[in-house]
Amino acid sequence: MFENSDLNLTMDKERKLIIAGNWKMNKTVAEALDLVNGIKRDLGNVKELDIVVCPPFTALGEVSKAILKSNIRLGAQNMSEHNFGAYTGEIAAGMLKEFSVRYVILGHSERRQYQKESDALVAKKALAAHGASLKPIVCVGETLGEREAGKTEKVLETQVRDSLAGLNKEQMGETIIAYEPVWAIGTGTTATAAQAQETHSFIHFLLGKIFDESVARRVRIQYGGSVKPSNARELMSLPDVDGALVGGASLEERSFADIVKNSI
Ligand code: 13P
């Protein structure tokens, strides 16, 4: 499908898988604690891959305490591009650091759709995240209409270039990309293994072109969109798929734990 596919650098699996649960706007503090304590019980000994939970802001403090000294890492779902100031309702990177947050999801398609976040804004946020030593998880992905019109490659190239604009090679190496086809999010329809591999490989290829090959080899690309225990093994075994960003199935201990276990 992609004209450049014969040039791509298909990655051998030298990157550690990273599986993150994006809880979106779900879970009270009490529910968040229940979930994370269950995850800790179930997955507390997993060393083979990185496990991240991304609760809503209101639960970060308690979840942070619950996972202290564990193998579970904390992520936030968004942050401001500014470090402080008169930005009512916003949260700065430094405030997330107070809760030992390590990762922050940026430019999720829901924020692009409902809050009209642009690639340029996402790039500013990514720079601010790195400024605070947070690792951004930058989300990209095409809509169904764009895929059907054969525009996937073009849309992703624009998103990747513009949402990562201004990052240096070192920062890019510490950035995670989440490829989340909009048509697969919350729909139960997952990209096929062939679609996921082809698209991830294209993104690694793009990173090689924009930055360089050694940077491209370092960057982990998560797949997101209806990841479930039943499809995790196949998706995570693909050469250019380096993890998952899980929505619905991360809200229950059993399904999240099974996704992780099936990915090892
Ligand atoms: P679902 O796993 O519910 O499809 O959501 C994916 C997602 O948006 C993760 O960020």
Q: 138-174 pLDDT, tens per residue? A: 999 999 999 999 999 999 999 999 999 999 999 999 9
pLDDT of residue 116: 98
User: Is ligand 1 within 6 A of the CB of residue 222?
Assistant: no
Strand partners, 221: 177
Q: Are 47 and 28 in contact (CB under 8 A)?
A: no
Strands 135-140 and 18-22: unpaired
Residues 247-261: what's their mean pLDDT?
A: 98
Find the catalytic residue in 81, 108, 117, 204: 108
Question: Quick one: which of 40, 99, 48, 110 has its CA closest to 75?
Answer: 99
Q: Are 72 and 20 in contact (CB under 8 A)?
A: no
- 193-252 pLDDT, tens digit per residue, is 999 999 999 999 999 999 999 999 999 999 999 999 999 999 999 999 999 999 999 999
Give the integer Cα–Cα distance in Å for 86 and 66. Answer: 32
170 is catalytic: no
Closest atom of ligand 1 relative to the 188 alpha carbon? 4
Query: pLDDT band for position 14 (50/70/90)?
Result: confident
User: Is ligand 1 within 6 A of the CB of residue 224?
Assistant: yes
Give the integer Cα–Cα distance in Å for 73 and 16. Answer: 14
- 18-57 pLDDT, tens digit per residue, is 999 999 999 999 999 999 999 999 999 999 999 999 999 9
180 is catalytic: yes
Give Rg (Cα) of the chain: 17
pLDDT of residue 147: 96
User: Which residues contact residue 220 at a Cβ distance below 8 angstroms, ignoring those fewer than 6 apart?
Assistant: 15, 16, 17, 18, 176, 177, 242, 243
Q: Are 21 and 54 in contact (CB under 8 A)?
A: yes
Find the catalytic residue in 81, 117, 142, 180: 180
Give the integer Cα–Cα distance in Å for 171 and 219. Answer: 10
Model confidence, pTM: 0.95
- 66-96 pLDDT, tens digit per residue, is 999 999 999 999 999 999 999 999 999 999 9
Q: How far apart are the CA of 75 and the centre of ligand 1, in A?
A: 15
Give Dmax (Cα) for the chain.
51
> Where in the chain does DSSP place strands (E)?
18-22, 50-54, 72-76, 103-106, 135-140, 176-179, 220-224, 243-246
